[in-house]
Each structure stands twice: as C-alpha cells, then as structure tokens.
Structure 1
C-alpha cells in the first residue's frame, strides 16, 4: 500500500470514526502528513472535527470493564467508538486489550507489537495506523483487524483470537485449529475468560 493510499484509507476510517463518536473529535496533520485523530488534543494544531454527545448506553460496558481493570474506564469511550465503526463487540475489544497490554498504550512486546492492542508494524500499515502508540488509531486498527479475522474464520471467535495472537497463516497451517504454541494456547482461553466476565 502506498503512503498516499494508506493516508486515504486512514482519512476514510477517521471520518467513519468521527461519525460514530460520542465525544468531541479533533484532527491535525503531523509533519509527515499523517492524520492524528483524538478526543483529547494535546499541543497546538488540532481542529475540532466533530462535536459529540455523551452516550449513556456505554455505561454498562465501562462499569463492567472498570471492575475488571482499573485503567479500563479511561479508554472506554475510544473502545466504544472503534467497536461501532468496526461492528464488533466493545466487550471483546476490552477483553483483547486487557490480555494484550493491560490497558497500557505504551506497551511494546519482545516481538515488536505495540500499543493497547499490540499491533505489529505490518498490521498497522494494513489498516492505515500511522502511530501505533496513539490509542485512538491503535484501537481502531485492532478492531478492524478483529472484524476481518472473524469474517475470515466464519465467526469462530476462538480461531479469530488465535489468528490475532499467532497469525492467520498459523491457524491455516494447523488445519483451522488453534496452533499448538504455548503462548496461543494460554492466550485464547485468557481472552475468552475476559470476554465472558464482561458480558
């Protein structure tokens, strides 16, 4: 994907994200020409893209997530927005984020995955994420990736989660089963447990 195409894709995703937003959404273009989208602007150069409204329907998920992890409430609004744009369950995003980064937007894995949803560089590029440490971009990219994995594996959540952890090719290599990797064998039940506890 060229940088122009990636930028266009991110702009489209940004507009979709903004349309689903319940908080004020700000945007600016950084020095590299990438769009930065946030509901908590810091520094100069941000412009109001959309004035949002409070969504009281998000309260149950936020309350449940808060019971599971003390930092969940801070990220609940952006998780709700990404869930609406991608068409996935916000509780599932919370479950993945808790397992992946424990809600730490600066987390980096030994393999180079980064941010709340631990996006690898190639996955970030695929979904137009210019800054993996930007929580809004990271969660939206991860949500879109999960959506595509669920579609690819016919809605089989455990296989989608296995692919999120080990890669799509690994699930296919083992005949559409959870790969026999120790990390993945731990990861899938952990996320499923997190998800059930939020439902």
Structure 2
C-alpha cells in the first residue's frame, strides 16, 4: 500500500510537467524556424505548451461542426494567417490566430481576438459568411477573407493584388496538406 502511495506522489509531482511540456522555437538568420522541447541555447523562446495542440484541435473541431467547414480549411487559414501564434498582430492591425481586423472582430462578436476560442470561432464564422456570400467559391471566399469582400465585388472576383493571390495559393497548399495529414499541426 505504501509503495502505491509513493508512485502516486511521484506521478502528481512529475505528470503536470510532462503534460504541459513547453515547446520552444527560434528563427535563424536565414529565416529557418527551429523547434524543440529542450532548448539548447538562449536563442530559443517559449512558443506554447504541448497541451495547446489538443485544445486547438478541439476548438477547431467545434467551429468546423458549427459552421459546416472542413477542419483542414480552418487549420490552413490559421497556419497562413498566424502560424498558430495567438498573440500575433499584423502590420495592418489584424489580431490573433485567425488575424481578425478590429471591425471584423466586432462584426462576428469577438471581444478578445487573442483568445484562441474566440478567434477560431469568430474567424470560422466570418469564413462561412464569405463562402455563403460568394456562392461557396473557395478562392473568392479566401480573397474576401484576405482583401475584404468589397474588393472581391469591385473586381468581380479575385483582386489583382499579389498578396491576395499568394494568400489563396498558400491557404490551398496547407488545406491540401492538412487534408492528407489530419493530425498534423
């Protein structure tokens, strides 16, 4: 009985550290991104806990079901928009995982775009709205997500912006990747 108690105590002490192990990353001079769970130099910065992945998977699955979206599409948008960094702010002021502009965040009821649950829910809602607005045309919906629906309407399709055209290509690339590798982040 005493031996079981000791194992239980050891598990209580060490299990939280195992479950919430940190992931660290650094970007080298050539733009290469390096990840580790055991940083070997001061160049590595805390990125997120390993448990975050499972929480994000759950939030993505919930929003995918709620808004009838493919989970791989939501992941692809998050990857291209923020590279899964919930604290990122773009040069233009877009915020959070799904890079919601402040006006868009208000439109979809997001109070805190840095909260992953709000960002994923609001971004997914907006993505569904863009798909519905453009007759389920994925390229037009992605262009609207990136450049705004008025730009898509003005040009009668994908705007002639290099950034928007590259955005669509990148999202489609990751969409295909996540469809083939469902459990990958």
TM over 0.5: yes
1:184 aligns with 2:138: no
* 1:93 matched residue in structure 2: 74
* 1:107 matched residue in structure 2: 88
CA distance in 2: counterparts of 1:143 and 1:72, whole angstroms? 18
1:83 aligns with 2:83: no
Deviation at 1:75, TM superposition (A): 1.5
Work out whether residues 105 and 134 of structure 1, in 8 Å CA contact, stay in contact via their aligned partners in 2: yes
CA-based RMSD of the aligned residues comes to 1.4
Listed one character per residue, the Cα deviations across residues 81-105 of structure 1 (whole Å, up to 9, x for unaligned) are 1111112111100000000000000
SS at match of 1:189: helix
Query: Which of these residues, 138, 147, 172, is aligned with residue 166 of structure 1?
Result: 147
CA distance in 2: counterparts of 1:73 and 1:158, whole angstroms? 29
* 2:173 matched residue in structure 1: 193
Aligned 1:96-175 pairs, distance under 5 A: 96-175=77-156
CA distance in 1: counterparts of 2:69 and 2:168, whole angstroms? 17
Deviation at 1:148, TM superposition (A): 0.7
Gapped runs of 5+ residues in structure 1?
1-69
Deviation at 1:72, TM superposition (A): 5.1
Change (3 A) 1:97 1:161: same
Runs of 4+ deviating beyond 4 Å = 70-74
Greater Rg over alpha carbons, structure: 2
Gapped runs of 5+ residues in structure 2?
1-49, 180-185
CA distance in 1: counterparts of 2:163 and 2:93, whole angstroms? 16
CA distance in 1: counterparts of 2:108 and 2:154, whole angstroms? 24
Change (3 A) 1:172 1:72: farther
